[in-house]
Every structure is written in C-alpha cells, then in structure tokens.
Amino acid sequence: MRLFVLFLLSIISLNTFADDGYRLWLKYDRIQNEALRKTYAQKLATVSINFSDETSKVTLSELEKASLGLLGVKTKLVGSNASLVLKKEILTDKNSEAFEIKSTKNQIVISGNTSKGVLYGVFELIRRIQTSESLENLKIASSPKIQLRMLNHWDNNNGTIERGYAGMSMWKWYELPERIDTRYIDYARANASIGINGTVLNNVNASARFITAEYLGKVKALADVFRPYGIKVFLSVNFASPKILGGLKTADPLDPEVKQWWKNKADEVYKLIPDFGGFVVKANSEGEPGPMDFGRTHKDGANMLAEAMAPHNGLIIWRAFVYNFDPKGDRFAAAYNEFKKFDGEFLPNIIIQVKNGPIDFQVREPISPLFGAMEKTPVSMEFQLTQEYLGWATHWVYEGPMFEEVLKTDTFAKGAGSTVAKVIDGQLFKYPLTSMIGVANTGSDRNWTGHPMAQANWYTLGRMAWNPEITSEKIADEWVKMTFQSDKKSTETIKKIMMESREIYTNYTNPLGVHHVMGESHHFGPEPWVEKAPRPDWTALYYHRADTVGIGFDRTEKGSNSLAQYHLGLRSKYSDINTIQPEFLLWFHHAPWRHKLQNGRTVWDEMVTRYYEGVKSVENMQRQWASIKGKIDSETFENVEARLKTQHKEALWWRDASVVYFQKYSKMPVPSPYQKPARTFEELKSLVDVYHVK
Ligand code: GCV
C-alpha cells in the first residue's frame, strides 16, 4: 500500500512538472513561497463588482482561475466590504481602456471607465502576483498609448498558414459557426492579458471567400467569442471581390457599381457584426489585385473602400508593402515613392500599415523611411512575430530587442527625439488613429508557437503596443517569471539567453547588415548564391552585390540614393562609411573587403569573425540552457534543448555556406584562429534539399 501511494505521488509530481506550454504565460501554478502566497490570498479573499455584463463574467472567471491556481483560494463574491473591489467609474484619464489600481492596507480597488478597462486592470494585478511584486500602496494609472493593438493572421481557409511554423490554422472553419473550440477562448484570454484588442483572421493574400455570407457567419461566431475580452475582428479582403464574388466586369474603384457593391458588402458585414473592426488590404503587391490594375492609384482604392466603411465607423488598413519591379530601381525606396505623394489625401478612416523595415522583416533593418514622412496620414507599425526570416521554429530569437531598436530609432522628422515610437503612438504628428500589429506566430501546435520560446514574441508585441517605450528587458523579465515560475538563477539565465539571441542569430546569418541572403521563396537557411529568380529583387545577389571589390548595397548618393528618403539627422548616421554603426554597414555601402572598421579589422575579417562567433554563441546558449536542467519543467526543457541542437547545426550551415561563398569574391583567407570550413561549396548548396525546406 505504502509503495502504491508513493508511486501515485511520484506520478502526480511528475505530471505537475511537465508542461506542454498550452497555458502560455497565464500559467497559474501554485506559488511556492508560503508567506507571499498567504499575503496575496488575503488580498483576493473576497471580491465585489459594480457592473454586470459579458466582460464582467470573464473578468471574474479569470480572477477565480488565477487565485485558485496561484494561491489555492476560491475568491468569494460579496456585495460590499470586499478585499478586492472592481468598479466602473469615471477616471481622470478618459481613455476607454484605462484602468487604475489603488491599494490600502485592507483593500485593493481596480477601476476603469469601462468594463474593458477593469479587465485590463485585473490582468495587471494577476501579472504582479505572478511576478512576485508587492501589492502594498499601489497607485497605478495606466492606459494604452496605441489604440489598435493587433495580431494579423496569415491563415487561409484551407487550414494552411502562409509562413506559419506552428502547425495548421487554429480556425476550424469547417466546424464553425456551430462548434466553438475552447482554444478560441484561451486565445482571447491570452490576448486580453497583454492588451491586444484586434485580430485579423485571415491572410493578406486574401481569398474572396472570407466575405461571402457563408464565411461571415463563421466570422460572427468568432467575434462573439472575442467580444467579452475586448477584441474586435477584422478581415483581409481581396480587392477583386466585386468581380470574383459579385460577377461584375470590373473592380475599378471609381466604377459606380463597384462602389455600390462594397457599400452593400459593408452593410452586410455590420448587420451581422456591429462592432466589426475593418478591412485590411494588400493591393498591387506580389501579384495581388489592386486599383492599379485599372489605372487607378492606392489612394483611389483605399478611399473607395473607406467610403463604404465610414457609415459604420469601420477602418481600412491599407498596407504599404509594395514594390513594383523597376529594373533600375531600389526596392528599398518603393513604398515611400508610392505613398509619400498621397500624404494627406487619404480619408480619415484609413491607416497605412508599414512594415518596420523597407525590405521585408530581415533580422536587422533600418527603419522604413515612411515613418517620419507621413505627417498627415496615420501610419501604423507591422512587425512579424512568425519567424519567416528568423529560422522558422528551430532558432531561438527573442524579438523584443529588435522591436525596441526600431521603436527607439530617431526619424528626426521634427528634430532630435522624433522616435518611431512617437510617430506611431501619434504624439509626433497628432495622428487621430494609431496602431501596432504583429503577424501572428500562432498555430494549432499544442504550445501555440512551435518553439516554446517564441511565445515571448507574441507577449512582447502586446506589451509594447500598450506602451512602445517599455524596454524589451523588462518584458523578458515578466514573461520568464510568468511562464516558468522558476528560481531566480534560472530566471536570470533564460532572460540572458533571450536578450542575446537576436544578435547571435544576426551574427551567423546577416553580419554587418548583409541582408536577404536566405533561401529563395521558402526563406530558410543560406542561399547567398541565388542569382536568378522570377524577379531580380527576389535574388540574394540583388542585395549583397558581392564582387571582387567588396560587398553591400550602395544606397548613398553615389548609389541608389535611397538614403535621401530619411531626414538629415538619420541620413547622416548612415551616409559615411567610416562612421556608420557596423551593424548597418552593408545596408548602405558597397564596402571594400579590405576596408578597415573602427575596431581595426577589415570588412572580410569582421564578417568571418561574426559568423564564427555567432556559432560559438549558440554553443554557449546550449551550455546555459543545460545549466537549468531540473529547474524548469522537463517537457519544455527537452523541447528547447532539442531545438538548440538543430539551431547549432543550422548555424554551422549558415556560417560555412556564407564564408565559402563570399570567399569566392573576397579571395581572402579565413583569419586565425578560425579554421576554414571543411565542407565544399557543392555540399553546402545541396543542404537545402537535405533539410527538406523546398
Ligand atoms: C503574405 C513576404 C512574405 C509573403 C507575405 C508578404 C506580405 O513577401 O514572403 O509570404 O505574404 O511578405 O507581407 O504580404
């Protein structure tokens, strides 16, 4: 009997120490520190609430889950004299999502102008408990600096996800609207906990099918699930829908029948989903239809749709990711050239959504020149959480430092201090609409994001959209504590790896600002040798321009002069080859191989050093990870351990392929102490097939 009990106990404890990652950062395992747990428990013993709606229900249910899990306490709902008071009341800050948390010795009061504000306040309280913070004498007042904080899913109606590396789509269209998967609710909880208040359900390469009556019924079912959590749904639309669905002869935005078709469609959508967010449009980009197919402009197309949505307060989010092929041009300059000329001519319910960099989600890009250029048209930030160019789901890259670097970049649009954060939160140009989005990295994988550590990127997007000036380190700290509930040493170790991970990835893949040298079309692994593709700007050669003289894309006035799109202050940081930060060197200069950097090394030696040191750093990541064995749950530990092994293998591939290929041009030796790669060029080239990524 005794043995049997011991056996049972061991199973139970093993189970509690295995975690499939499904609960994300809302982990709610019992707090081990008894004294702390008791203090919190007292504070959450009773709760009162002065409003009743769908949001109040989910708020109370979250509170109950958290306090039962973290504290072992079943919070009691009482009429008055509660230890925790939730109330709707008018705050000094009139933002509809604002909240305040105040605490006295015996009571915590969370208030909001709306029930949504209270919900956010409750999540803040839970976060403080999860991160072991004191709840004494709180005087917190918080409201989001950015209005629209969204995920964009690139999910297709057949269940696949464009650039998705965490399984299939979470949206089970074939089951909707009848069956509501509980995952939808957990998705909404996770998003609400970090302030995300919008979701674009489908791919920007949009099937027109999403706005048929059949699909709108399904979308409505999801909107109903998300509404109590303060989340609005949006859809990407296909600009040719009037032709595809409506049988019209054209989709010309100036055609009266086309205009009417979209008005009717907007009416139909809003009749079903009165708080529908709006449409996202990828037009005349990478083969998608758009107004230019009819001799019109982006302005004509966006304004036509905006007119249809305006009576319902719906938004048009028009993407600036356009780069018509110009044999003499520089893709870097395309979006600015296309949109700057229309600044101030877009209707007020339009936002221009701009990717953080001018090319396409490379691990390091200088900012898109459109930030700082559109003074009269709101531009929003599009980051990519899914790691299309960042090693898919096998490379650990915490994107927080990258987002932070972008947001802190000074555009100099109104003198020094005109950071991207201030552009997109509306401070700089007084934008009436503000938004930050992340291309989602979620899928049907049990842990949502494939790589367990990639959950942090989702978390970070929400936190930075709430406050674009918060540091990535602070966010990493929160996320690790909430996700692992581990000891101080392990927490610090994981955080340290996170904070270094992006630079490490940069070193073994894209040192000194070399960019777009990944595999063609699948975007995995190195293929710097791609010289031919359906379009020259889809090759690697177009970007790295390696020759016997040097490497890099000259964007100064001697080259494409795309640098001229930046304000002087920023331009001058990049225009001088001798003073530019080395991390951006090859973005703007064709640097001679033997050009000396400030540290005394030549460009070639520095590149090679970074490739080799990058790989060594992955080995260090592995060592650091190994040091926390037994300190976090075994399932996540082993999952990450295995992925790090793959990352190491692939980092070696990147290093060797890049060094061997570029050496053909530099004709310089691999500097000591590094050993020349043992693999031949042919061997390295063929690895793309070995990894089955094509
Ligand atoms: C959804 C890149 C990706 C495409 C993506 C596109 C976009 O080019 O490779 O898959 O399409 O960006 O952002 O529209």
Convert the pLDDT of each residue in 295-339 to its tens digit.
999 999 999 999 999 999 999 999 999 998 887 889 999 999 999
Question: Per-residue pLDDT for 505 more than 60?
Answer: yes
Q: Is the CB of 205 under 6 A from ligand 1?
A: yes
End-to-end CA distance of the chain: 57
Averaged pLDDT for residues 558-583: 98
Residue 11 is predicted with a pLDDT of: 42
Among 404, 406, 399, 381, smallest CA distance to 441 is for 399
Contact 615, 655 (CB under 8 A): yes
Question: Per-residue pLDDT for 689 more than 80?
Answer: no
Q: Is the CB of 522 under 6 A from ligand 1?
A: no
Ligand 1 centroid distance, CA of 634 (Å): 36
Q: Is the CB of 163 under 6 A from ligand 1?
A: yes
From 202, 286, 537, mutation site for ligand 1 pocket: most ligand atoms within 8 A of C-beta: 286
Ligand 1 centroid distance, CA of 236 (Å): 13
DSSP letters spanning 287-354: T---GGGGT--HHHHHHHHHHHHGGGT-EEEEE-------TTS-GGGHHHHHHGGGTT-S-TTEEEEE
Q: At what angle do helices 256-272 and 298-309 cross, to 10 degrees?
A: 40
Q: What amino acid is encoded at 434 in this protein?
A: T
Contact 448, 166 (CB under 8 A): yes
Ligand 1 centroid distance, CA of 482 (Å): 32
439 Cα nearest atom in ligand 1: 13
Q: Is the CB of 331 under 6 A from ligand 1?
A: no
pLDDT by residue (tens digit) across 574-592?
999 999 999 999 999 999 9
pLDDT by residue (tens digit) across 72-130?
999 999 999 999 999 999 999 999 999 999 999 999 999 999 999 999 999 999 999 99
- Closest residue by Cα to atom 12, ligand 1, is 360
Q: Is the CB of 282 under 6 A from ligand 1?
A: yes
Pairing state of beta strands 315-319 and 278-281? parallel
Q: What angle do CA 291, 292, 294 make, to 5 degrees?
A: 75
pLDDT classification of 17: cutoffs 50, 70, 90: low
pTM of this structure:
0.97
Averaged pLDDT for residues 525-538: 93
- Closest residue by Cα to atom 11, ligand 1, is 205
288 Cα nearest atom in ligand 1: 14
Cα(112)–Cα(119) distance, rounded to whole angstroms?
Answer: 8
Contact 208, 238 (CB under 8 A): yes
Question: Per-residue pLDDT for 9 more than 90?
Answer: no
Percent of the chain predicted with pLDDT > 90: 95
Residue 328 is predicted with a pLDDT of: 80
Contact 593, 666 (CB under 8 A): yes
Ligand 1 centroid distance, CA of 286 (Å): 8
Question: Per-residue pLDDT for 15 more than 50?
Answer: no
Q: Is the CB of 360 under 6 A from ligand 1?
A: yes
Pairing state of beta strands 108-112 and 99-103? antiparallel
Averaged pLDDT for residues 285-290: 97
Cα(409)–Cα(273) distance, rounded to whole angstroms?
Answer: 39
384 Cα nearest atom in ligand 1: 13
pLDDT by residue (tens digit) across 45-56?
999 999 999 999
- Closest residue by Cα to atom 8, ligand 1, is 360
Cα(352)–Cα(244) distance, rounded to whole angstroms?
Answer: 25
Question: Per-residue pLDDT for 1 more than 60?
Answer: no
pLDDT by residue (tens digit) across 344-371?
999 999 999 999 999 999 999 999 999 9
523 Cα nearest atom in ligand 1: 9
Question: Per-residue pLDDT for 605 more than 60?
Answer: yes
Q: Is the CB of 162 under 6 A from ligand 1?
A: yes
- Provide the CA 357 distance to its chain's centre, in angstroms: 13
Q: Is the CB of 321 under 6 A from ligand 1?
A: yes
Residue 688 is predicted with a pLDDT of: 81
How many residues are given for the chain? 694
Question: Per-residue pLDDT for 5 more than 70?
Answer: no
Q: Is the CB of 154 under 6 A from ligand 1?
A: yes
205 Cα nearest atom in ligand 1: 1
pLDDT by residue (tens digit) across 242-267?
999 999 999 999 999 999 999 999 99
From 152, 155, 156, 163, mutation site for ligand 1 pocket: most ligand atoms within 8 A of C-beta: 163
Beta bridge partners of 149: 436
Ligand 1 centroid distance, CA of 438 (Å): 13
Ligand 1 centroid distance, CA of 688 (Å): 21
Token pair in block for residue 367:
């900012």
pLDDT by residue (tens digit) across 453-500?
999 999 999 999 999 999 999 999 999 999 999 999 999 999 999 999
Contact 472, 503 (CB under 8 A): no
Q: Is the CB of 383 under 6 A from ligand 1?
A: no
Site of tokens 């101030």: 344
Contact 526, 686 (CB under 8 A): no
> Other C-beta atoms within 10 Å of 691: how many?
16
Percent of the chain predicted with pLDDT > 70: 97
pLDDT by residue (tens digit) across 385-429?
999 999 999 999 999 999 999 999 999 999 999 999 999 999 999
Average pLDDT of the chain is 96
> Which residue numbers are catalytic?
286, 360, 388
Contact 552, 545 (CB under 8 A): yes
Q: Is the CB of 595 under 6 A from ligand 1?
A: no
CA dihedral for 425, 410, 406, 318, sign (positive or negative): positive
From 153, 161, 321, mutation site for ligand 1 pocket: most ligand atoms within 8 A of C-beta: 321
Domains of the chain (ranges; CATH) run 20-142 (3.30.379.10), 148-470 (3.20.20.80), 506-690 (3.90.1330.10)
Ligand 1 centroid distance, CA of 320 (Å): 12
Q: Is the CB of 262 under 6 A from ligand 1?
A: no
Ligand 1 centroid distance, CA of 289 (Å): 14
Ligand 1 centroid distance, CA of 335 (Å): 14
